[in-house]
Amino acid sequence: MKKVTRIFFSPSGTTKKVVDKIAGSFKYEKEVCDLLHFNADKEFTENDIVIVGMPVFAGRIPKTARDRLSKLTGDNTKAIAVANYGNAKVGDALLEIVDILKENNFDVIGAISAVSHHSIFDGVAVGRPDNADLEKLSEFGEKCVEKIESGESLQAEIPGNKPYVDYNQLPFTISCDLDKCVFCYDCVTVCPEKAIPDEDPADIDLDICSRCTACIHICQENARSFSGEAFEAKKPIFESANSERKEVEYYL
């Protein structure tokens, strides 16, 4: 019996939402592999179907997400690639996901670039994915169901470049408001890079932090946020440059 596994790296929760919407088109049993927490080898069979969602960081998927995705292998396993970005640019991220899956013996049948509320600059793509996006995601999911039933593989060419664009570490600072922090240690637990020390959750090692925003979004007290001159200077420029709506695009 076929089984659908939703695989995602979703620090702010939007990539998970996109993957879940696509998975809703499938009537098979469903499982979850959350790469924000799962970091081990895992094998999938030819009876499995995987939907793999990754956020886009400056035109690439996050290094940590790439490393963890690379540990997953298939056996001619049907796969759907999802790049979720904040209305700025997909860059090489979707192609990167497809390449990793193919290298690891997954049979990619479809790929999609989805748009969600930007995780860093909150004035970009507010309210997305919206109803129009969700309808497009459902349409794509239904077409993927048809492709699996027909046995076809991905035919379309995925946009992107090789070599991929270089990784670009953001210079922004993440600060913690000690007046709000209740030392619940949720941020310590969720950080995929282990950049927040157990002994002081108000601290963060910015040299290894990927600025993925997981610690910001999990904080129930809103104690963590981006700050500093570099962030404050970039925010209005970025939001103005990326105000024009971009649409969901899929490839089959």
Q: For the residues 199-215, what does the mean pLDDT come to?
A: 91
- Six token digits for residue 158: 């995925």
At 223, which CATH number? 3.30.70.20
Please give the DSSP secondary-structure letter assigned to residue 111: E
3-state secondary structure of 82: strand
pLDDT band at 26 (very low <50, low <70, confident <90, very high): very high
Q: How many CA atoms lie within 13 A of 159 on its CB side?
A: 10
Q: Do 203 and 138 fall within a single domain?
A: no
Cβ-contact 113, 251 below 8 angstroms: no
Q: For position 234, what pLDDT does the model report?
A: 95
Q: Do 90 and 61 fall within a single domain?
A: yes
pLDDT per position as a tens digit, 65-118: 999 999 999 999 999 999 999 999 999 999 999 999 999 999 999 999 999 999
Q: For position 202, what pLDDT does the model report?
A: 84
At 95, which CATH number? 3.40.50.360
Q: Do 182 and 91 fall within a single domain?
A: no
Angle between helix 14-23 and helix 131-150 axes, rounded to 10 deg: 50
Q: Do 197 and 136 fall within a single domain?
A: no
Q: For position 231, what pLDDT does the model report?
A: 94
Residue 226 lies in a domain: yes
For residues 44 and 48, give the distance between their C-alpha atoms in angstroms, rounded to a whole number.
Answer: 6
Residue 188 lies in a domain: yes
Return the H-helix or E-strand segment holding 142. Answer: helix 131-150
Residue 242 lies in a domain: no
Q: Do 45 and 132 fall within a single domain?
A: yes
pLDDT of 1 over the 80 cut: no
- Six token digits for residue 67: 């490393």
Q: For position 115, what pLDDT does the model report?
A: 98
Which of 60, 13, 67 has its CA nearest to residue 38? 67
Residue 66 lies in a domain: yes
Q: For position 156, what pLDDT does the model report?
A: 96
Cβ-contact 66, 99 below 8 angstroms: no
Domain containing residue 62: 3-163+247-251
Model-wide pTM > 0.85: yes
Cβ-contact 174, 230 below 8 angstroms: no
Q: Which residues are registered as beta bridge partners of 8?
A: 34, 53
> How many domains, in total, are found in the chain?
2
pLDDT mean across residues, the chain: 95
- Six token digits for residue 22: 């696509």
Q: Do 130 and 199 fall within a single domain?
A: no
Q: For position 209, what pLDDT does the model report?
A: 93
Q: For the residues 38-61, what does the mean pLDDT come to?
A: 96
Q: Do 94 and 12 fall within a single domain?
A: yes
Which of 112, 230, 99 has its CA nearest to residue 163? 99
First and final C-alpha spacing in the chain = 24
Q: Do 38 and 157 fall within a single domain?
A: yes
Q: Do 131 and 157 fall within a single domain?
A: yes
Q: For position 138, what pLDDT does the model report?
A: 97
Q: For position 235, what pLDDT does the model report?
A: 96
Q: For the residues 174-185, what does the mean pLDDT come to?
A: 92
**In angstroms, what CA-CA distances link 154 with 124, 163, 196, 249?**
31, 21, 40, 15
Q: For position 220, what pLDDT does the model report?
A: 94
Q: Do 67 and 189 fall within a single domain?
A: no
pLDDT of 10 over the 80 cut: yes
Q: For position 38, what pLDDT does the model report?
A: 95
Burial class (CB in 10 A: 0-12, 13-18, 19+), 39: exposed
pLDDT of 123 over the 90 cut: yes
pLDDT of 142 over the 80 cut: yes
Cβ-contact 224, 175 below 8 angstroms: yes
Residue 64 lies in a domain: yes
Q: Which residues are CB-neighbours of 214 under 8 A, at least 6 positions away?
A: 11, 12, 36, 187, 190, 191, 192
Residue 168 lies in a domain: no
Q: Do 182 and 63 fall within a single domain?
A: no
